[in-house]
C-alpha cells in the first residue's frame, strides 16, 4: 500500500450549518466511493473553508458520517479577491494500492471550475 492524497471541493449555496453538513457529507462520500475507499483507508483529512463560511466546522460532517477515529482539521482558505465564494475544500491522505494517476479527485457542482484539469 502507498500513501496518496486526494483532493475535493464543493461550493455551498448558503452559509447554514445543515446545508454545509449535507454538502460536505456528499463530497466526502463521493471521494470514498469514486476511489473505492472505506473509512479504514483514511489517514487524515484537512478541510478548508472560504472566509464567508462561518456556520459550522466542515469536519463536523465527517464525524456525522461516523468518521470518528481519523484525525481531522479545519482551516480558513486565503481571502483572495475574485475567488469562488462559499467553498469547502478537502485534502485526504489515504492508504491505497492505486497509482497516483489513478486517484480520482472530486469537485462537485460549481467547484469543478477550480480545477478543470483534474475534476471528475
In three-state secondary structure terms, 67 is: coil
The answer to whether 100 touches 1, Cβ cutoff 8 Å, is no
The answer to whether 5 touches 94, Cβ cutoff 8 Å, is yes
Lowest average pLDDT, out of 51-55, 92-96, 102-106, 114-118, goes to 114-118
Give Dmax over CA atoms of the chain in angstroms: 40
Q: How confident is the model at residue 1 (pLDDT cuts 50, 70, 90)?
A: confident
User: For the segment 46-88, what is each residue's pLDDT rounded down to a tens digit?
Assistant: 999 999 999 999 999 999 999 999 999 999 999 999 999 999 9
Q: Where are the domains of the chain?
A: 2-114
Domain 2-114 has CATH 3.30.430.20: no
**Integer-rounded Cα radius of gyration of the chain:** 14
- Averaged pLDDT, 79-106: 96
Q: pTM score, two decimals?
A: 0.93
HEC string of 7-64? Answer: EEEEECCCCCHHHHHHHHHHHHHHHHHHCCCCHHHEEEEEEEECCCCCCCCCHHHHHH
Amino acid at each position: 500500500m502507498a500513501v496518496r492524497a486526494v483532493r475535493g471541493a464543493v461550493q455551498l449555496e448558503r452559509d447554514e450549518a445543515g446545508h454545509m453538513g449535507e454538502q460536505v457529507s456528499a463530497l466526502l462520500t463521493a471521494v470514498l466511493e469514486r476511489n473505492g475507499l472505506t473509512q479504514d483507508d483514511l489517514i487524515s483529512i484537512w478541510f478548508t473553508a472560504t472566509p464567508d463560511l462561518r456556520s459550522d466546522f466542515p469536519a463536523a460532517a465527517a464525524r456525522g458520517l461516523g468518521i470518528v477515529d481519523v484525525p481531522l482539521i479545519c482551516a480558513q482558505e486565503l481571502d483572495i479577491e475574485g475567488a469562488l465564494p462559499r467553498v469547502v475544500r478537502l485534502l485526504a491522505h489515504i492508504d491505497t494500492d492505486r497509482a497516483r494517476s489513478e486517484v480520482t479527485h472530486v469537485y462537485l457542482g460549481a467547484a469543478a471550475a477550480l480545477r478543470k484539469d483534474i475534476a471528475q
